[in-house]
Amino acid sequence: MTRGRFISFEGGEGAGKSTQVKRLADRLQSQGHGVVVTREPGGSPGAESIRALVLRGDADRWSPVTETLLMYASRRDHIERVIRPALARGTWVVCDRFADSTRAYQGAAGGTDPGLIAALETFILEDIRPDLTLVFDLPADVGLARAHARAGAEMRFESKGRAFHERLREGFRAIALSEPDRCVVIDAAADMDSVEQAVWRAVAERLAAHG
């Protein structure tokens, strides 16, 4: 059986990823693809328990290194129980955040040693890497305003302040620049329909050969 395709959505707070994840999944399903929609941190029962620890509470509840370890504990469970089995049975996986978020949030913005993150990627991800990563780019002020407008219980990272989110944006941009074969930058400031079209264009151009 042909391996499924793995698409990750990345970007800062308030970039509109969740809406576009659903739109892309609906479009892929309409073309006959089996699709699993999932998210990080979370995506499996164990990983969702860790999500609650990481995304709630005061901004300084965890150090960046502790956050990194929690994110990778969550990610490993997610890979074992959801992502790897789905890809093995030929299902497409559309994930709201994956390993690039740790590089950007805990690494570029938080200051965790990139060497630690790279080592965890090697041993925890193994062969699981996105075939395509869509990086939603948005000015930090705009994203934070959107995020606070829909404020809920999971607002720990939104409370980290503008400087953190400026570093976060630059971190995602640097990832996209360093891996252009995998990453496509999407202008998340555009209207939702235009963003949807840009997402589909990237998927069609990059993954059409895989059916």
- Extract the tokens encoding 55: 């995304």
In one-letter notation, the amino acid at residue 167 is R
Query: 210 falls in which pLDDT band (50, 70, 90)?
Result: very low
Neighbouring C-alpha atoms within 13 Å toward the C-beta of 109: 30
Query: 76 falls in which pLDDT band (50, 70, 90)?
Result: very high
Residue 136 neighbours by CB distance under 10 Å: 23
Q: Which pLDDT tens digit goes with each residue over 182-193?
A: 999 999 999 999
pLDDT at 1 over 50: yes
Q: Is residue 95, in this structure, part of any structural domain at all?
A: yes
Sequence-distant (6+) residues with CB within 8 A of 102 are: 68, 71, 72, 75, 117, 120
Q: Is residue 1, in this structure, part of any structural domain at all?
A: no
Q: Which CATH number covers residue 53?
A: 3.40.50.300
Sequence-distant (6+) residues with CB within 8 A of 169 are: 12, 137, 138, 139, 140
3-state secondary structure 149-188: HCCCCCCCCHHHCHHHHHHHHHHHHHHHHHCCCCEEEEEC
Query: 97 falls in which pLDDT band (50, 70, 90)?
Result: very high
Q: Domain of residue 28: give its range.
A: 6-210
Query: 53 falls in which pLDDT band (50, 70, 90)?
Result: very high
Q: CA–CA separation, 126 vs 45, rounded Å?
A: 21
- What's the number of domains the chain is made of? 1
